[in-house]
Amino acid sequence: MSTAVLGAAVRGATVRGTTAPGTAALPAWAERVPAFAALALLPWLAVLAVSHEIPWVVLDLLELAALLSLDALLRRRSPAAILPACAVALLLAGDALADIGTAGTGLPLLAAVVMAGCIELPLAALCLALGRRAARA
């Protein structure tokens, strides 16, 4: 492998029609996911607030703020988007861990695992990918 090809592969450039590992293109709609996720949190925040679940309200408000910050920086094409992306991922992973750890047994535990595996952790991974892409641009 020539040094030009190797250098292009390391930088994530396309070489002979292939993409370097870890640089798969994200669809255009993926950049709107943080805004939609923030919007989806609003009804859940209302439910938690009515139930007087203050620690969960605070955690979800932090997630909301981080998602909105990420969306704003992605719209500006700012390389600083990696910072709120990391914050979103950390908050969502912590939320998933806390949900599973406090769920008890049976159906509540199953619901926590499904939420973590189908919503919270995939959203965290997507936000990290979006932040990484913005930082490289």
Residue 33 and residue 137 in contact, taking contact as beta carbons nearer than 8 Å: no
Number of H helices and E strands in the chain, helices first, is 6, 0
Q: Is the pLDDT of residue 82 over 80?
A: yes
**Which pLDDT band, with edges at 50, 70 and 90, does 2 fall under?**
very low
**Confidence at residue 4, expressed as pLDDT on a 0 to 100 scale:** 44
What digits encode the pLDDT tens for the residues 110-130?
999 999 999 999 999 999 999
**Confidence at residue 24, expressed as pLDDT on a 0 to 100 scale:** 63
Residue 131 and residue 84 in contact, taking contact as beta carbons nearer than 8 Å: yes
- pTM to 2 decimals? 0.81
What digits encode the pLDDT tens for the residues 12-34?
444 444 444 555 688 989 999 99
* Amino acid present at 51: S
Residue 123 and residue 136 in contact, taking contact as beta carbons nearer than 8 Å: no
* Close Cβ partners of 82 (under 8 Å, ≥ 6 residues apart): 131, 132, 134, 135
**Confidence at residue 25, expressed as pLDDT on a 0 to 100 scale:** 83
Q: Is the pLDDT of residue 5 over 80?
A: no
